[in-house]
Structure formats: structure tokens, C-alpha cells
Amino acid sequence: MLKPLPVGKGSAEVSLVLIYDIENDRLRTRASDICLDYGLERIQFSAFFGKLNRNRRQELALKLQNQMGNEAARIRIIPICGDDLSDMWVLDQYRRNADDLKAEAEREVPRLRILRQGE
């Protein structure tokens, strides 16, 4: 079980990628909201990028762990060192960001028309 470090001087912020695979829609939305609350940027539907120090990473992990309870979930918080970050390649070809696309997908109601025999 993770436990946050005592409040103090703290460690330096490091870049990180957080990814998850969560089956439950409500919990997946809650995980997304928590990531955004910590200032992480959505880079894909279930992937976030940002900077947090060690205490904040542990706090985030605890919060996500508590939200998931006993539900099926895979969450990875992956720190990235400065050297690797400077070698990152970004290939973005989207006209809209992931948050806008996700919000639109959640608003859409499936359109179903029931046809009777002979129509």
C-alpha cells in the first residue's frame, strides 16, 4: 500500500505519463477528472502527461487506488527523465484536442430506428 511522504522540502517535479485501462465507465471518468485536477494534460483518451513531485505522484496514486476500490483497473504512472523528454517526438495531426473529442463522444446519443416488417 502506498503512503504519502511527510510534508517538507519535497522533491523536484519530474515529467510523467499516466495511462490507464479501466472497464467501469463511472470510474474511468472519475480517474480522468482526478488527473485533470492534478494539472495533467490529456494526450489521449486514457493517457495524461504532466509534471509532479514525488509526494504529489504518491498522493495521486493513493487517490486513484481509493477510487478504484476492488474494481478491475490497470493504472501506470511512468516518470520520464529530462534526457528522455528532450528526445521525445510529437506527431500530432488532430484538428481538435482529446478533451473536446471525448466530451463530444460522451454527449452523443446512439440513433436507433426500429423498422417494422413491411416498412
- As given in the structure block, the three cell numbers for residue 64 are 486513484
Residue 32: per-residue pLDDT: 96
Cβ atoms of 10 and 54 within 8 Å: the answer is: yes
Cβ atoms of 4 and 62 within 8 Å: the answer is: yes
CATH hierarchy code of domain 14-107: 3.30.70.240
| Sheet of 47-52, strands arranged across | 41-44, 47-52, 14-22, 73-80
User: Roughly how many angstroms between the first and final C-alpha of the chain, as a whole number?
Assistant: 60
Residues forming a β-bridge with 76: 19
Per-residue pLDDT of the chain (119 residues; tens, 9 = 90+): 555 555 555 678 999 999 999 999 999 999 999 999 999 999 999 999 999 999 999 999 999 999 999 999 999 999 999 899 889 888 877 667 777 777 777 776 666 666 666 65
Residue ranges per structural domain of the chain: 14-107
Q: Does the predicted TM-score (pTM) go above 0.75?
A: no
Q: Which residue from 40, 29, 106, 17 is spatially nearest to 67, judged by alpha carbons? A: 29
